[in-house]
Amino acid sequence: MTNNNQLSRRALLATTAAGLAAASLPPLPAFAAAPPTTFKHGAFEVTVVSDGHLVLPTTMLAPDAKPDERAALLKTAGQSGDTYNAPTNVTLLRSASDLILIDMGSGDRFMPTAGKLWDNLKSAGIDKTKITKVIFTHGHPDHLWGAVDELDDLVLPKASFHVAAAEWDFWNGDNATRGLPAERAGFVTGAKRNYAAIKERVTMFKAGDEIVPGIQVISTPGHTQGHVSLAVAGGDGLIVGGDVLTHPIISFRHPEWKPTADHVPDQAVATRKMLLDRLAKDRSKLIGYHLPYPGLGRVERKDGAYRYVAEG
């Protein structure tokens, strides 16, 4: 059983990027220690590493949906009760000259079940000091707060950092405070803290830019004002989607439903529909940050909507 204070806190945390996730998951010990998944894609070796998971209220997935309809879809996903576990899947891309991390997880200030990235990398024999570049999809805690340690020092002091200009401007501008509910003030403080730590090593980008040859920025706003995804060249394509599509049933069958975590809900709906159409048409692979670990799959059209088909 959970008390009202616990649910209230979880409801607050669910307004982050992590408020949208997951399907039925293995028990906590197995999930927290999930081994990396590695595959070859074009010129890159792709590795997905777990940062642990978040514990969130199921109501945040689609608060405006009919409760019985939402409950039926959650049951199909193996989710019941007041809360569920939301995976956090971090992507690492290795090329001939770079080791590129997409997002940095939660660090040690968000939830005790998350912030496992560095331990999991070490267990897999991956030296984090060899990471040369970090690309952020957006500035929510579970994607950005792992940039600094408990002393606010950079975890990767030798890496370069790459942030969408629109996302940087949002979190560092006055609208980040005025445009969000008061209970999200901590998200703004945390984003500013982590962005300040990387400001001497950051490069801004916009939609269409290539971070390195073979990794191109796709504009996917709505979840946050400057949210981006990354298209990785090779084969039929690979899209590292961040938090555009985050629930393995709801995001695909009902992209019009509006999770609490989205900053600009109508824009997020349009973005989901755009990306789903592209993924179904191109047959590109997708890595979803909050889809069931390792978050790798494809999208198919089904019954006038879409279906997520997991791989790996």
Distance CA 82, CA 79 (A): 9
The answer to whether the beta carbons of residues 101 and 135 sit under 8 Å apart is yes
For residue 19, what are the domain limits? Answer: 4-310
Distance CA 37, CA 89 (A): 10
Q: Where is average pLDDT lowest: 10-19, 26-35, 288-297?
A: 10-19
Q: pLDDT band at residue 276, thresholds of 50, 70 and 90?
A: very high
Number of folded domains that form the chain:
1
What Å distances lie between residue 221 and 31, 80, 195, 224, CA to CA? 30, 30, 19, 6
- Domain at 79, CATH number: 3.60.15.10
pLDDT tens per residue, range 55-104: 988 888 889 888 889 889 988 888 888 888 899 999 999 999 999 999 99
Distance CA 157, CA 168 (A): 19
Six-digit token string for 5: 């204070």
